[in-house]
Amino acid sequence: MGQTMGSAELGRELGDAGGPLLVAGIATVTTLAYGYAALAVLIAAGPVIALTRPGRGSPRPG
């Protein structure tokens, strides 16, 4: 239980700190719209990767 809670908290903290840094870094080089677009692509990639990657609890093929 502790590892699960720790992993969830780590992910949340990385998002809270990393999101604004990512957007600001890209917006500094280009514009704010591109910063938000990069964040949207990154957020959309997470569920896609999670759904295509076999993990615990998913049925085995075959």
In a domain, 62, yes or no: no
In a domain, 12, yes or no: yes
- 22's CB contacts (< 8 A; 6+ apart) are 35, 38, 39, 42
Domain that holds residue 34: 2-52
In a domain, 42, yes or no: yes
pLDDT tens digits, 40-58: 998 899 888 888 887 665 5
User: Regarding predicted confidence, which is higher, 22 or 3?
Assistant: 22
In a domain, 61, yes or no: no
d(CA 1, CA 20) in angstroms, rounded, equals: 30
37-57 burial code (b ≥16 CB/10 A, e <16): ebbeeeeeeeeeeeeeeeeee
User: Regarding predicted confidence, which is higher, 51 or 11?
Assistant: 51
In a domain, 58, yes or no: no
Tokens 């677009």, located at residue? 37
What domain count does the chain have? 1
| For residues 2-31, average pLDDT | 86
User: Regarding predicted confidence, which is higher, 13 or 60?
Assistant: 13
